[in-house]
Amino acid sequence: MKATKGTSQTRWSIDQAHSEISFKVKHLMISNVKGLFTGFDGSIFTQAKDFATAEVYIWIDASTINTRDAKRDEHLKSADFLDVAKHKQITFTSSTMSMPDADGNIELWGELTMVGITKNIKLNVQFGGSARDPWGNERVGFTISGKINRTDWQLTWNTLLETGDLLVGEEINISCEMELIKVREEDLVLRSNSTVRKKILL
């Protein structure tokens, strides 16, 4: 979605200190293993401050997966799962976003790419509110959730138990907390000038 004539475009950055991308999956089909990615970033663009017009770009460093077990994390990084040696990033690019319902819930659709495979997914977004921090920055918060089936991305590794159940569940529950900061025009100018200086020096 592009800004209409006469409408300014606003850029938002992710405050990583107050944001999290996490997930959980069934283990032995009786409990959940939780994990998160510690390396991620993104850009969000809106028409003025209207998040119904948002364009969302998120990229995740697949090698930063962390389930609090080093051996399991190495397996998840291997060719059996994320194959981080060949596929360094997981990305999400939005396509459409619904208007909030009476409870403030929003449907966000977009393309999730893992291990070189892209699939369209739906995420549920809850607007948490907006505030201005002590340094004058405008901030907004969102809680995001969703479910995907890992086999849609050909992540099919598993072990069949004696009971007939699977060692690892196929459904992945996604849970994210996102706090965004409005990028001020003066910050954009400073970044632009810094880029120009680097090019001159090179």
User: pLDDT tens digits for 120-130?
Assistant: 999 999 999 89
d(CA 59, CA 198): 25
Quick check: is 3 in a domain?
A: no
Quick check: is 128 in a domain?
A: yes
Quick check: is 98 in a domain?
A: yes
Quick check: is 59 in a domain?
A: yes
Q: How many residues does the chain have?
A: 202
- The residue to which tokens 């977009």 are assigned: 110
Quick check: is 4 in a domain?
A: no
Query: In terms of residue numbers, what domain contains 74?
Result: 9-201
Please determine, for residue 97, whether its predicted confidence score (pLDDT) is greater than 50.
yes
Query: Mapping DSSP to helix (H, G, I), strand (E, B) and coil, where does residue 83 land?
Result: coil
d(CA 56, CA 46): 9
Percent of the chain whose predicted confidence (pLDDT) is above 90: 67
Question: Domain total for the chain?
Answer: 1
In this predicted structure, what is the pLDDT of residue 166?
A: 72
Among 25-29, 69-73, 115-119, 147-151, which stretch is predicted with the lowest mean pLDDT?
Answer: 25-29
d(CA 62, CA 37): 7
In this predicted structure, what is the pLDDT of residue 188?
A: 54
Quick check: is 179 in a domain?
A: yes
pTM score, whole prediction: 0.84
In this predicted structure, what is the pLDDT of residue 186?
A: 59
Position with higher pLDDT, 70 vs 165: 70
In this predicted structure, what is the pLDDT of residue 196?
A: 45
CATH of the domain at 126: 2.40.128.110
Q: How far is CA 92 from CA 4, 19, 38, 47, 95, in A?
A: 24, 16, 16, 20, 10
Quick check: is 1 in a domain?
A: no
Position with higher pLDDT, 158 vs 20: 20
